[in-house]
Structure 1
Amino acid sequence: MTEPIVDHETEGLDMARPRRLNRAGLKRLGRRGIVVAAVLALIPVVLTFLYLPSFVHPVSTLMLKDLATFSGYDRRWVSIDDVAPVLANSVIMSEDGQFCSHRGVDLGELRGVVDDALAGEATRGASTITMQTVKNLYLWSKPLGTVRKVVELPLAVYFDAVMSKRRIMEIYLNIAEWGPGIYGIEAAAQHHFGVSAKRLSRRQAALLAVTLPNPIARNPAKPGPGLRRLASLIERRAGRSGAYVGCLD
């Protein structure tokens, strides 16, 4: 009985072929991944230009989520000219005191956060109004928050370079969440105080401003002692805001 003839050279080639195919497949996946990432990166770049005209009324990713889940929401777009100036002033003094002077990112606050993190201390928030605006317009909420921040920083710089401060504030005030399903300052003013955004008092403006960090848990119409104290502080600061809000004139 004769032994089967085995061509060892051909056998080695046959074994190498799947490895080459696997490498080729990985390269194709890598190229596709790069293309997808580039397309995703271009979306906010293009949308930012589309959002420049005042007649365009952007929606946030949270609003889109509410639509997709059939939750619905209340948002009534309003021009910044029809918002009580004290409201915008209060939001700046509460959320981002350097809004008019930074270029989308507050480098001083950011350095403080990095120093705290390196020292193993609890980090404080360093999110500017511009950063919050691009997050609300283009990005996701809590999961993978660190990755989101890495994307958020260059987007905020770009957004600030393209948009005027006044338009950034107008968009922010119209997409910010002020309660479950309540988006934008007009819907918030009507829902919580029964008045238009243009007729908000200094106290009402301060209460709405200090609600922004946690609009689900904080109710400006029924503030607790802590929220009332914080609102009093912001009310005083807004009254003395001066040059801090000069970019909105």
Structure 2
Amino acid sequence: MAKTSLPRRLLHWIGRALIIFVVGSVLWVAIYRFVPPPITITMLANAVDGRGITKDWMSLDRMDRSMARAAIAAEDGNFCTHHGFDFNAIQKALQSNMEGERRIRGGSTISQQTAKNAFLWQNGGYLRKALEAWFTVLIELLWSKHRIMEVYLNIAETGIGTYGANAGAMRYFHHDASHLNAVEAARIAAILPLPKKRGAVAPTGFTRRYGDRIQRRIAIVQRSGYDGCLR
């Protein structure tokens, strides 16, 4: 019996690995449609660094509506209408960064950020970006927008070792996320891009100005129905 050539064996194993990855990732995403992610790679990395893990899951329906509206106002105005990727926002971010603006802009949607936070790691690179795109497609296919926002607001880092809007609300304002007002929700949303460097209590400088802008946008989100997919 003739032996299988090395290239053919490699292709065989690569094919099997791809099938396992696809099936495994689909099952993983399907499980998280119903089960809160128990832990993430980001949480584990911070725990190894000695920062601990503080989190307290709260359903999106129990959170004050201002928190989801603040996230949309700050991170993804087209959240309810895109299918995971906002190509206009990506183009604007690329153009802004190429023109050398002082603050680097990102074009990631809430769906992309949820995919990254739930299934991947924080550092960049082409591999992570490719995987992020894959998981973004999966959560958009298998989850509702309501679920995507719910997971996002429960696992996003809101301070050193603190994860989720509810844990952030208790850390900064000493009450849970069901009692957030628009000012508090805007301040939590303002620190999401840099949770280790920004504070929601008595913010100053850019963080304060950014939080004020988000607060004003919350009313626009509500009035214009940009959060309609969450109702």
Q: Distance in 2 between matches of 1:116 and 1:195?
A: 38
After the TM superposition, list the runs of 4 or more consecutive aligned residues in structure 1 that deviate by more than 6 angstroms.
none
Q: Deviations for 1:161-207, whole angstroms, at most 9, x for unmatched residues? A: 21111111111111100111101111110011101101112111100
| C-alpha distance 27-121 of structure 1, shift in aligned 2 (>3 A) | farther
Q: Deviations for 1:64-100, whole angstroms, at most 9, x for unmatched residues? A: 3345666530111111111110111011100000000
Match of 2:113 among 132, 135, 157: 132
Over the aligned positions, Cα root-mean-square deviation in angstroms equals 2.4
Asked if the contact 2:51/2:160 (under 8 Å) is kept, the reply is: no
Asked if the contact 1:90/1:237 (under 8 Å) is kept, the reply is: yes
Local SS of the residue matching 1:127: coil
Local SS of the residue matching 1:110: helix
Aligned partner of 2:84 in structure 1 is: 104
Q: Distance in 1 between matches of 2:183 and 2:105?
A: 26
Amino acid at match of 1:206: A
Aligned partner of 1:247 in structure 2 is: 229
Cα deviation, residue 222, structure 1: 3.5
Q: Deviations for 1:48-68, whole angstroms, at most 9, x for unmatched residues? A: 111222xx1113221233456
| C-alpha distance 124-72 of structure 1, shift in aligned 2 (>3 A) | closer
Cα deviation, residue 226, structure 1: 1.8
The TM-score, its normalising length taken from structure 2, stands at 0.86
Match of 2:33 among 46, 52, 58: 52
Amino acid at match of 1:185: A
Cα deviation, residue 224, structure 1: 1.1
Give ranges in structure 2 of 5+ residues lacking alignment.
none
- Percentage identity across aligned positions? 35
Q: Distance in 2 between matches of 1:66 and 1:114?
A: 30
Cα deviation, residue 216, structure 1: 0.6
Match of 2:214 among 234, 244, 249: 234
Match of 2:74 among 91, 94, 100: 94
| C-alpha distance 121-38 of structure 1, shift in aligned 2 (>3 A) | farther
Give ranges in structure 1 of 5+ residues lacking alignment.
1-20
Cα deviation, residue 113, structure 1: 4.7
Aligned pair count reads 222
Asked if the contact 2:29/2:138 (under 8 Å) is kept, the reply is: no
| C-alpha distance 72-37 of structure 1, shift in aligned 2 (>3 A) | farther
